[in-house]
């Protein structure tokens, strides 16, 4: 290798190293992905996403997804099941009992289908039998074994024009417990999907009230 080639090679590696250092400095969540980090409990994170702004206490913030240009695309939250604004800061960690937590994600609203549309235009093609009344007060539908929804049950408050649609896993999730999921729009361009332990299905209204209280506390629509 000639001296000129060696100089060019060293220069190339130096430039690449500088670029990577700058990129990871601007994106520390990528550099430390998968590593244990102290979870801030007293800081407040100001996040802008679509037509909304969130002021999220650090102990509730699980992860923020961003584009290469740092635009926020998804905000993941972990929330104590019985959260209140006055509650002491308690952060989710590897030893936390997942049966006592809500897992939520705020992101771009993809589907404009109403709950009625989901029930009558999508789900109805895969339902195995008429709805049955559940102990939660909701109506339960099971899906055909060969359907895309075979591993979940669907719960709704109304068979014709539902305001509530909740899907519940029939198998334990990767988080170590069976989860139920509900999605709702919080602005013209944003939705929140929150998951809670299936054992709490009978208390779904209380869980929903917890989510509403949290959103009132941390979420505002951007002006304009």
pTM given for the model = 0.80
Quote the CA–CA distance of 138 and 206 in Å, as a whole number: 14
Residue 208: strand, helix, or coil: helix
Instruction: Report pLDDT digits (tens) over 109-165.
Output: 998 899 999 999 999 999 999 999 999 999 999 999 999 999 999 999 999 999 999
DSSP assignment of 81-112? TT--TTSPP----TTS-GGGEEEEEEEE----
**Residue ranges of domains in the chain:** 1-37, 40-221
Specify the pLDDT at position 176: 77
> Dihedral (C-alpha) 45, 47, 53, 54: value to the nearest 10 degrees?
-40
**Dist CA 64 CA 43 (whole Å):** 15
pLDDT digits (tens, 9 = 90+) for 182-206: 999 999 999 999 999 999 999 999 9
pLDDT in tens, 41-75: 568 999 999 999 999 999 999 999 999 999 999 99
């Amino acid at each position: 290798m000639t001296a000129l080639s060696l100089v060019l090679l060293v220069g190339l590696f130096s430039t690449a190293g500088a670029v990577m250092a700058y990129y990871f400095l601007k994106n520390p969540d990528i550099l430390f992905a998968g590593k244990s980090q102290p979870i801030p409990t007293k800081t407040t994170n100001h996040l802008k996403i679509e037509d909304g702004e969130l002021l999220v206490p650090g102990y509730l913030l699980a992860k923020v997804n961003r584009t290469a240009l740092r635009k926020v695309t998804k905000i993941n939250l972990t929330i104590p099941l019985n959260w209140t604004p006055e509650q002491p800061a308690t952060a989710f960690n590897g030893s936390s009992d997942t049966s006592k937590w809500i897992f939520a994600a705020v992101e771009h609203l993809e589907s404009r289908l109403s709950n009625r549309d989901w029930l009558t235009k999508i789900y109805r093609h895969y339902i195995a039998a008429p709805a049955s009344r559940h102990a939660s007060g909701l109506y339960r539908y099971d899906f055909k074994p060969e359907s895309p929804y075979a591993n979940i049950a669907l719960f709704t408050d109304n068979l014709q024009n539902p305001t509530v649609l909740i899907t519940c896993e029939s198998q334990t999730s990767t988080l170590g417990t069976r989860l139920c999921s509900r999605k709702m729009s919080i602005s013209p361009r944003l939705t929140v999907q929150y998951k809670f332990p299936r054992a709490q299905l009978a208390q779904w209204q209380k869980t929903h009230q917890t989510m509403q209280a949290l959103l009132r506390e941390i979420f505002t629509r951007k002006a304009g």
